[in-house]
Amino acid sequence: MTDIVKVPEILLPAKGIDMTKWATIACDQFTSSPKYWETLTALVGDSPSTLKMTCPEIYLNRDVSGEIKKVLENMNAYLEGGVFEERRGFILVERECGAEKRVGLMIAIDLEAYDWNRVRVPVRATEDTLLERLPVRISIRTDAPVESPHAIVLIDDADKKIIEPLYEERKSFEKLYDFELNMGGGNIKGYAVPAEKEEGILSLFDALLLSDTQLKKYSSDAGIMFAVGDGNHSIATAKVCWEKIKASLTPEEQKTSKARYMLVEVVNLYGGGMDLKPIHRYFVRRDDEFIARLKASLYGGGRLKIVYADGEEYIPCPDSAAKAITEIQRLVEDYIRETGAEIDYVHDEIHLDECVRSSCGMGIVMPAFDRAELFGYVVNVGNLPKKAFSIGEAEQKRYYLECRKIK
């Protein structure tokens, strides 16, 4: 049996903590919506909250050294103040995503098995990693006593052999939480998976790496167990910090270090609530020169929608979503380097329209990536460009909830 997956020791809020105020959306969401974060901050108030253990990326255009210091102080205060209760075991998570349920399993993964480059490792990135987005996260994690990640890793389990059978048995499991997530996040439930099921679960994860299974799925022994669906930069941050820590440890100490592992939610790519949604490109100012570049560079049988404050238009683009996303992002990044154009990445076309109208800017409505293509693309081609897809819309992103000691 491999050690890629480990049964985690998880910190949950103690009884009496207001869970609706505790759990908050991933820090890289709503980066063009200050009102969202202002409303959330007011809602949380003085209550213990994961909001106070993270630094929302909307604020990264200013000096956040004071915020980082406060985040670390809050983590230590929560540990020392009885905010957490620790328990060992997998947690089955049921998340309401519109009319569907998304079901996942909280596990710990070995960071030795992850690499964001295109190399043969069991845990693969799906999108390009931007090293410039890591420093603030690294500053927090380097001194953090706990982690509360929003990362989701995916399994290619079309036969639904791992997570779905556990979900069928959930009513016999101890329910750990059941509440409404704030800011329109929907209901979430957590169930304690009995310890006697752990060995079987670990064996099923290992079976994903069997040569026959890999050959059947990918026409090669690709050696892939997980593809990162969300939170790649969080996992990359943990990897950087682990490499620094590892250098000071003996081989035996490396095997048992808490920092070697990271808490993630694993979700079946073929489970419910798993539509891969596009992430749209929002230009703060309308830029007809860039649109002219798109028209001159893109071709194919697809249609790319451009939205303005006063209307919209369509231009040709490649039929393949992967190719269209790659070409558009290349043009966007070239243009940013040349002109300093200010853009952001926005989930949900409704939010994109709101941003465009409020600033008289413009938006590119990106094509949707087919989930059935994801693992094959990662194995045979490599990483997609940054912000190529999202698991659900912005409100359906993973909330910070479960935590884990990393020291």
Regarding whether 146 and 125 lie in a shared domain, the answer is yes
Question: What would the DSSP string read from start to end of 240-307?
Answer: HHHHHHHTTS-HHHHHH-GGGEEEEEEEETTSTT-PEEPEEEEESS--HHHHHHHHHH--SSEEEEEE
pLDDT-derived band at 71, boundaries 50, 70, 90? very high
**Higher-pLDDT residue of 382, 66:** 66
Instruction: Please report the pLDDT score of residue 382 as a whole number.
Output: 86
Regarding whether 154 and 233 lie in a shared domain, the answer is yes
Instruction: Please report the pLDDT score of residue 327 as a whole number.
Output: 95
pLDDT-derived band at 46, boundaries 50, 70, 90? very high
The answer to whether the CB of 87 falls within 8 A of the CB of 9 is yes
Instruction: Please report the pLDDT score of residue 114 as a whole number.
Output: 97
Residue 381 placed within a domain? no
Instruction: Please report the pLDDT score of residue 171 as a whole number.
Output: 97
> Domain count of the chain?
2
d(CA 246, CA 375): 30
Q: Comparing 56-70, 139-153, 241-255, which segment has the lowest mean pLDDT?
A: 56-70
Instruction: Please report the pLDDT score of residue 275 as a whole number.
Output: 82
Regarding whether 301 and 212 lie in a shared domain, the answer is no
Residue 293 placed within a domain? yes
Instruction: Please report the pLDDT score of residue 309 as a whole number.
Output: 94
Regarding whether 286 and 270 lie in a shared domain, the answer is no
d(CA 150, CA 129): 16
Regarding whether 290 and 228 lie in a shared domain, the answer is no
Regarding whether 57 and 35 lie in a shared domain, the answer is yes
Residue 122 has pLDDT above 90, yes or no: yes
Measured CA angle at 57 (ends 137, 21), to 5 deg: 95
d(CA 319, CA 304): 10
pLDDT-derived band at 98, boundaries 50, 70, 90? confident
Mean pLDDT of 106-121: 94
Helix 65-80 and helix 135-143, axial crossing angle in degrees, nearest 10: 30
Tens digit of each residue's pLDDT (9 = 90 or more) over 238-276: 999 999 999 999 999 999 999 999 999 999 999 999 888
What percent of the chain lies above the pLDDT cut of 90?
82
Residue 205 placed within a domain? yes
Q: Comparing 28-37, 79-88, 210-219, which segment has the lowest mean pLDDT?
A: 28-37
Mean pLDDT of 178-204: 98
Mean pLDDT of the chain: 94
Regarding whether 311 and 244 lie in a shared domain, the answer is no
The residue segments making up the domain with residue 353 are 279-367
Residue 383 placed within a domain? no
pLDDT-derived band at 386, boundaries 50, 70, 90? confident
Residue 393 has pLDDT above 90, yes or no: no
pLDDT-derived band at 35, boundaries 50, 70, 90? very high
The answer to whether the CB of 235 falls within 8 A of the CB of 382 is no
Residue 207 placed within a domain? yes
Residue 378 placed within a domain? no
d(CA 192, CA 105): 10
Residue 374 placed within a domain? no
Residue 1 has pLDDT above 80, yes or no: no
Regarding whether 207 and 138 lie in a shared domain, the answer is yes
Residue 376 placed within a domain? no
Torsion angle of the four alpha carbons 140, 144, 146, 149, in this order, in degrees rounded to the nearest 10 = 10
pLDDT-derived band at 381, boundaries 50, 70, 90? confident
Alpha helices in 4-134 (DSSP H): 19-22, 34-44, 65-80
Residue 81 has pLDDT above 80, yes or no: yes
Instruction: Please report the pLDDT score of residue 129 as a whole number.
Output: 81
Regarding whether 164 and 15 lie in a shared domain, the answer is yes
Regarding whether 145 and 221 lie in a shared domain, the answer is yes
Regarding whether 333 and 229 lie in a shared domain, the answer is no
Q: In sequence order, what are the beta bridge partners of 25? A: 399
Instruction: Please report the pLDDT score of residue 291 as a whole number.
Output: 96
Tens digit of each residue's pLDDT (9 = 90 or more) over 326-340: 999 999 999 999 999
Torsion angle of the four alpha carbons 384, 388, 390, 395, in this order, in degrees rounded to the nearest 10 = 150
pLDDT-derived band at 392, boundaries 50, 70, 90? confident
Regarding whether 294 and 259 lie in a shared domain, the answer is no
